[in-house]
Structure 1
Amino acid sequence: MAISRVFTRASFRALAQRATLAPARQTPIPSRAFTASQQAQQTRGPPSPPSDDTADPAQAYLGTTKRLPEFNLTKKVVLVTGAARGLGLVQAEALLEAGATVYALDRLSEPSELFAPIAERAAKELGTSLHYTQIDTRDVAALHAIIADIGAKEGRMDGLIAAAGIQQETPALEYSAEDANRMFQVNITGTMMTAQAVAKQMIKFGNGGSMAFIASMSGSVANRGLICSAYNASKAGVIQLGRNLASEWGEHGIRVNTISPGYIVTQMVEELFKEYPERRETWPTQNMLGKLSKPEEYRGAAVFLLSDASSFMTGADLRIDGGHTAW
């Protein structure tokens, strides 16, 4: 029940007299007092990056060391598997823009034609570097050796984006054991062995770190009209793997989360649309935004999960599916 207070003219006069006689209250000084330049910045907008040619490019680029510093990845070393093309390469570029040194691992002998321009931009504009190594995550001995070499070279290991994975659309009645095992070996075992190798380096250097595994909304639901039981089971395994590794490695300061994208239009999906053109029309109707996603729409998630911006987040699945699974 609301309580109202009625003021008479006399009470108003009394209040005015009391305000005149009462000593002025001291306004607390904030812990970070504005300087004159900061006050000017409020009226002029954000400052321009330093123009001094001797300035560190990583500090100059977008002012990342001064703006939202918890997203800053400068001097961090991050591995991205499946980064020769597609979603993995897009996320690698986002990490570079946040300041990280990025090592891209993929089974392709050569990365896509988009890789070289990104590597050049990293060196010339971003003050960091992008490296490429060919490796199939099923070759566990070679995988561990490569990751150990990176750790020895850089003297640290800070992050992992595990984006390597395969897909096969086959009716369950026709799936061979060989095909199913290959799916699980790449998508689950490959992710686990990569995470294991990276975690050993993180523990060795004692700085902790953060990992993000690319799962899928298909790890939580069955996709209507998409016949891929082994793939969906593998992505459910990736989500559960992330939770369990988070529970084991939290004591070492290592965070492990997963990202579950919705339908992404990649080069591979474009080829799929040629075989099933109706999916280009029906898939967008199955989510709340009525559209399909682009690889670029997952850039922020990668930086968020690998940076201090998510420092109290582990064992979680970040579902980014346009509301597909929220119906």
Structure 2
Amino acid sequence: MSSRLFARAFPAPSTSSAVIPRASTSSLRSRLSPRNTNAVFGASVRWNSAVAEKARTAKFLPDFSLAGKVCLVTGGARGLGQEFCRAFLQSGCTSLAIVDLKEEEAAAAGEELVKQACVDSDMSPEDYSVIGIGCDVSSELSVQQAFRKVMDTYGRIDSVVASAGIVENYTAFDYPFDRIKRLYDINVHGAFFTAREAARNMIPVGGGSITLVSSMSANIVNIPQPQTPYNASKAAVKHMAASLAVEWAKKGVRVNCLAPGYMLTKLTRTILAHDEDLKRTWESLTPMGRMGEPEDLAGAIVFLASDASRFMTGSEIRVDGGYCVI
């Protein structure tokens, strides 16, 4: 930008009495009193809790709403997948497919999530259509059948999260081949089958959002536990998301990647209850000094699934407490 254009865009400040005086440090400190007042450019603004509560319930960015959207989550019966389902229902989704290995567990998870969604709400269980679908994501045929059930039920699909995955800890020399193959079949092939079927059904109706759940392990090497195949599988998922994003960008299908850090799921809590040293190690390596709660991912997954991220594809969002920064 030339100096002339720059001057036009940002005219010099006026010297008239309308200029807001620069507050001194002492005056700012006096304004930031325990009575919940904020100093903004020299003006004292009182925090009104009643107004804040009214704004919280009445004002929000509509693009974050999932109302009217059909969503699907693999691995949704437990762990992070279940947290994603909960976040979707809290964000207005009323048509949800929970996909997991055992159909009865997926259905039971759906019933419980609907009950929770109706607490302190004007919604009733009848307002929701949440179905549980049994599916082995490592089988292309099983994934195809799951999507067929979703399409038969809802007629469309708008947002898909590929969350199903496993992790195991063996040294590279000791890792059994059949376990490596199973891990890749679920983590990598399962993500690919899920994304491909999602896109096949999204493109005819104008597109949609696909989120592949990777891990911060796609970017770093975890210590002290050995998990080379897992780390490599998540790196593959990250690059898969970027590659599919480019391939389907002009077809209206967005593909992004969510990369969680260490999260305190029920399973992780059980493991760490018997290994406090490992928990302390993980926390000490995380700049925020703690492990994440599953609900810490809610905002990110809703953002990626909703229209709020409409111009975002091929990207990764890391939610790791700063682990990968250092």
Length-normalised TM-score, structure 2:
0.78
1:300 correspondence with 2:299: yes
Distance 1:258 1:248 in 2: 15
* Contact 1:219–1:236, Cα closer than 8 Å, also in 2: yes
Q: For residues 165-188 of structure 1, what are the alpha-carbon distances to aligned partners after superposition, in whole Å with 9 as ceiling and x for unaligned?
A: 011100001112211111111000
CA RMSD of aligned residues (A): 2.8
How far does residue 281 in structure 1 lie from its aligned partner after superposition?
1.3
Distance 1:304 1:232 in 2: 25
Partner of 1:15: none
C-alpha distance 132-257 of structure 1, shift in aligned 2 (>3 A)? same
How far does residue 122 in structure 1 lie from its aligned partner after superposition?
4.5
1:80 correspondence with 2:73: yes
How far does residue 224 in structure 1 lie from its aligned partner after superposition?
1.6
How far does residue 235 in structure 1 lie from its aligned partner after superposition?
0.4
C-alpha distance 282-5 of structure 1, shift in aligned 2 (>3 A)? closer
Length-normalised TM-score, structure 1:
0.78
Distance 1:298 1:6 in 2: 48
Q: For residues 44-103 of structure 1, what are the alpha-carbon distances to aligned partners after superposition, in whole Å with 9 as ceiling and x for unaligned?
A: 637869xxxxxxxxxxx955xx62101011110010000001111111111112112211
- In the alignment, structure 1 segments of 5+ residues that lack a partner are 13-41, 50-60
Q: Which amino acid aligns with 2:279?
A: R
Task: Work out the percentage of aligned pairs sharing the same amino acid.
Answer: 32
* Pick aligned residue for 1:97 from 76, 90, 95: 90
Distance 1:238 1:274 in 2: 30
The residue matched to 2:288 in structure 1 has which SS? coil
The 5 A counterparts of 1:276-315 are 276-315=275-314
Partner of 1:19: none
Partner of 2:195: 195
* Contact 1:84–1:110, Cα closer than 8 Å, also in 2: no
The 5 A counterparts of 1:101-116 are 101-111=95-105, 115-116=110-111
How far does residue 145 in structure 1 lie from its aligned partner after superposition?
2.0
- In the alignment, structure 2 segments of 5+ residues that lack a partner are 1-11, 18-47
1:220 correspondence with 2:219: yes
Alignment size in residue pairs: 278
The residue matched to 1:175 in structure 2 has which SS? coil
C-alpha distance 244-161 of structure 1, shift in aligned 2 (>3 A)? same
The 5 A counterparts of 1:20-35 are none
C-alpha distance 72-176 of structure 1, shift in aligned 2 (>3 A)? same
The 5 A counterparts of 1:1-327 are 45=51, 62=57, 67-100=60-93, 101-111=95-105, 115-122=110-117, 124-125=123-124, 127-205=127-205, 207-327=206-326
How far does residue 129 in structure 1 lie from its aligned partner after superposition?
2.9
* Contact 1:99–1:128, Cα closer than 8 Å, also in 2: no
The residue matched to 1:138 in structure 2 has which SS? coil
State the structure with more CA Rg. 1
How far does residue 274 in structure 1 lie from its aligned partner after superposition?
4.0
Q: Which amino acid aligns with 1:76?
A: K
